[in-house]
């Protein structure tokens, strides 16, 4: 009996539940005893009968390949594995909060950081290792459990935090590498992707991949189509090593990419609704009828350059970044655009010159946009602020506190008549009620033509409000010999390309 | 598991389900019945029988129960409705396979065993 027990013990896996192990041993021992009885009946003695019965079972290789492995695959999984996998993944996910390993929550978003990214990568590795373990052992219920918790996270029934930092870091690194080392410009893509809904969508969908794999593996196991994994320890070790190196490299690269984009050169910003004193001074110094070569030589000596000459002086990377910065601008035709690279980084630091036969015929300052609409279309003043009483603050909030009552500006514009003096209109609209952000001056057929673009805005709602809105209008005015000849008002809210009100309509 | 083993398992599975379709048996008796019915042509090994039986049980093709007799606890297996359905499928598969083999070697369908 001892020999039978020893034999049966050898091919019943040790990691099975006690009851299952006992039942298997009972069944197999009984079989050997029945077989022994048969051999005794045909003339074998007790020991020889046992030997023959054991030998009939198969050789050690067959027993290991068929019986041991099959029993292990069929019975070694315990319900508690699935429950544990579910709990571990849920705990790993929620650990992100105390560990500060998250990027986005309902009311806040933050930058990634190397340690956080690495922890997030490690959390993903934990999930992947659990899947690998369950797949190698063919633990169907455990795989289903892993699939369920990941699906729940993907569906946002359970807030999905564990892949956030890793996904953000990985995407950011890819964007950084493309922008830094290829001719493709990614800074605008990054603005859309980083902290945008795309990224939230990406990391929310991320758990669906392990979930999908787990479900497919579970189905294949159920249908008997899942192949046994050869050399699982070696394969898992190689995977962990490669993954760890890549995770570490990606985490360490994170501050490099972040720094690169935070210091991404922006020569010109469209979000400037005033004219700098510097460029106003240049504008005043230029007189229509001056020699173009004299004016350009003077501007050059003061550090001003044309866009083209500046662009040509840059290296490959800077040239790409410069072009990217300029992409937002569509300049007025026939104007040569000048700027000071060191002093004027906003979109209104431009000085425009128009010349004919070496003589200056027109000058301009401000954002030098070709027309109103391209600027309005950016819609940057639909911005929402957050009241300080609620403990929140946003950069530049003070700026919004200087708004006027937009109603005054609109009413003043509506009452304007052609022929009104330039000084009066500009004093009221350009200084009291709004801000001039583009100015052009030319002399055509002996007539002095002045052209202005004015921005007026107001803050809707008080600082006590949780949210408040910036509402604004844009006005363009043309004067001939100091008298108003035409004008138009554009309401940003309507986003119409045609002006809301024109002076001609009011005449 | 290679193709050879799969085929072997396939025919073994059919044999096991066939004998269980006739009566409820325990492991030792299943081997005995198969040997008897095949005039000792089919000698199923224990290391093949038990994994298949336990797979069947997990997949719901058979049900089991213990019966205590002669001081031993024998585990009896009973085919289920699902097991009968599976048996029919296996028979069809083998029939189609044998017909195809017959076509290739030019044998008459009636001479091919299914």
What average pLDDT values come out for chain A (507 residues) when binned by 10 residues?
Answer: 82 86 91 92 91 86 80 86 94 90 74 92 96 93 95 78 91 93 85 75 88 95 82 95 97 92 77 74 92 94 92 90 78 89 70 93 87 52 42 41 74 90 94 89 90 83 59 87 91 64 67
Instruction: State how far the Cα of A235 lies from the Cα of A322, in Å rounded to an integer.
Output: 47
The SS3 assignment for A441 reads strand
Spatial neighbors of A235 by CB under 8 A, at least 6 apart, are A229
- Say if pTM beats, i.e. exceeds, 0.90: no
Q: Which of B45, B58, B74 sits opposite A30 (nearest CB)?
A: B74
pLDDT score, position A166: 94
Share the mean pLDDT of chain B.
Answer: 79
pLDDT at A477: 94
Residues in chain B, total: 114
Q: In this complex, do B28 and A30 lie within 8 Å of one another by their Cβ atoms? A: yes
Q: What was the pLDDT predicted at A387?
A: 41
**pLDDT of B27 strictly over 70:** yes
For the CA atoms of A22, A23, A24, A28, what is the dihedral angle to 10 degrees? 100
- Surface-to-core class of residue A358, CB atoms within 10 Å of its CB (0-12 exposed, 13-18 middle, 19+ buried): exposed
Could B48 and A66 be called an inter-chain contact, meaning their C-beta atoms sit closer than 8 Å? yes
What is the complex's ipTM, to 2 decimals?
0.81
Contacts of B27 in chain A (CB under 8 A): 27, 31
What is the pLDDT at residue B4? 39
Contact with chain A for residue B28, Cβ under 8 A? yes
pLDDT at position B111 is: 47
Compute the average pLDDT of residues B65-86.
91
Who's near B94: CB < 8 A, 6+ residues apart?
A: B10, B11, B14, B114
Per-residue pLDDT, B113: 45
Distances (CA, A) of B37 to B18, B28, B32, B41, B82: 11, 14, 9, 9, 24
Q: Are A169 and A254 in contact (CB under 8 A)?
A: yes
Alpha carbon of A240 to those of A201, A212, A247: distances in Å?
Answer: 27, 21, 10
Which among A31, A71, A75 has CB closest to B28? A31
Burial level of A166, CB count in 10 A (0-12/13-18/19+)?
buried
- Please indicate whether, in this complex, the C-beta atoms of B46 and A70 are within 8 angstroms of each other: no
Q: Residue A92: its pLDDT value, please?
A: 92
CA closest to B60 among chain A residues: A222
Per-residue pLDDT at A263: 86
Which of B27, B47, B58 comes nearest A74 by C-beta? B58
**pLDDT number for residue A380:** 42
Nearest residue on chain A to B43, alpha-carbon basis = A56
How many Å lie between the alpha carbon of B111 and the closest alpha carbon of chain A?
33
Asked if residues A351 and A299 have their Cβ atoms less than 8 Å apart, the reply is yes
pLDDT value at residue B98: 62
Residue pair B43/B35 in contact by the 8 Å Cβ criterion: yes
3-state secondary structure of A437: strand
Say if residue B9's pLDDT is above 60. Answer: no
């Amino acid at each position: 009996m001892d020999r039978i027990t020893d034999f049966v013990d050898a091919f019943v896996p040790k990691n099975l539940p006690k009851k299952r192990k006992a039942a298997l041993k009972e069944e197999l021992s009984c079989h050997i005893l029945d077989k022994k009885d048969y051999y005794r009946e045909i003339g074998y003695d007790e020991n020889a009968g046992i030997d023959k019965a054991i030998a009939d079972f198969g050789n050690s290789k067959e027993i290991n390949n068929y019986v041991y492995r099959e029993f292990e695959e069929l019975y070694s999984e315990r319900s508690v594995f699935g429950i544990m996998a579910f709990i571990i993944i849920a705990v790993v996910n929620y650990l992100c909060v105390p560990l500060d390993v998250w990027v986005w929550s309902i009311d806040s978003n933050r930058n990634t950081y190397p340690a956080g990214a690495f922890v997030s990568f490690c959390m993903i590795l934990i999930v992947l290792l659990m899947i690998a373990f369950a797949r190698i052992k063919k633990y169907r219920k455990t795989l289903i459990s892993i699939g369920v918790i990941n699906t729940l996270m993907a569906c946002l029934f359970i807030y999905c935090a564990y892949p956030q930092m890793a996904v953000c870091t990985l995407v950011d690194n890819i964007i950084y590498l493309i922008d830094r080392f290829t001719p493709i410009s990614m800074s605008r893509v990054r603005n859309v992707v980083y902290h945008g809904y795309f990224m939230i969508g990406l990391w929310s969908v991320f758990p669906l991949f392990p979930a999908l794999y787990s479900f497919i593996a579970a189905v294949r196991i159920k249908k008997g189509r899942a192949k046994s994994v050869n050399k699982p320890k070696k394969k898992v070790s190689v995977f962990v090593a490669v993954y760890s190196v890549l995770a570490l490299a990606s985490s360490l690269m994170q501050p490099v990419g972040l720094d690169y984009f935070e210091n991404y050169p922006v020569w010109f910003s469209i979000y400037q609704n005033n004219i700098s004193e510097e460029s106003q001074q240049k504008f005043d110094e230029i007189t229509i009828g001056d020699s173009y070569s004299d004016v350009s030589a003077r501007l050059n000596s003061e550090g001003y350059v044309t866009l083209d000459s500046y662009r040509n002086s840059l290296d490959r990377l800077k040239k790409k970044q410069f072009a990217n910065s300029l992409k937002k601008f569509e300049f007025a035709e026939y104007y040569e655009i000048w700027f000071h690279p060191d002093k004027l980084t906003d979109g209104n630091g431009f000085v425009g010159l128009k010349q004919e036969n070496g003589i200056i015929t027109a000058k301009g300052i401000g954002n030098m946009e070709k027309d109103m609409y391209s600027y309005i279309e950016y819609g940057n003043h639909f911005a929402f602020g957050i009241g300080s009483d609620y403990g929140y603050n946003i950069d530049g909030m003070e700026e919004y506190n200087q708004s006027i009552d937009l109603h005054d500006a609109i009413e003043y514009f509506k009452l304007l008549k052609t022929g009104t003096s330039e000084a009066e209109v500009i004093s009221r609209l350009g200084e009291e009620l709004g801000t001039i952000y583009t100015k052009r001056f030319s002399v055509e057929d002996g007539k002095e033509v002045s052209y202005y673009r004015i921005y007026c805005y107001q803050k809707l709602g008080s600082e006590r409000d949780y949210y408040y809105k910036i509402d604004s209008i844009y006005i363009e005015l043309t004067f001939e010999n100091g008298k108003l000849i035409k004008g138009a008002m554009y309401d940003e809210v309507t986003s119409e390309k045609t002006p809301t009100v024109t002076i001609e309509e009011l005449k | 598991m290679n193709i050879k083993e799969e085929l072997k398992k396939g025919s073994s599975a059919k044999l096991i389900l066939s004998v269980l379709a006739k009566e409820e048996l325990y492991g030792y008796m299943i081997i005995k019945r198969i040997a008897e019915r095949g005039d000792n042509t089919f000698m199923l090994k224990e290391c093949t029988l038990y994994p298949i039986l336990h797979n069947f049980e997990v997949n719901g093709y058979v049900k089991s129960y213990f019966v205590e007799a002669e001081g031993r606890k024998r585990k009896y297996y009973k085919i289920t409705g699902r097991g009968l359905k599976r048996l029919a499928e296996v028979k069809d598969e083998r029939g189609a396979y044998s017909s195809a083999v017959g076509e290739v070697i030019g044998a008459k369908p009636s001479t091919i065993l299914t």
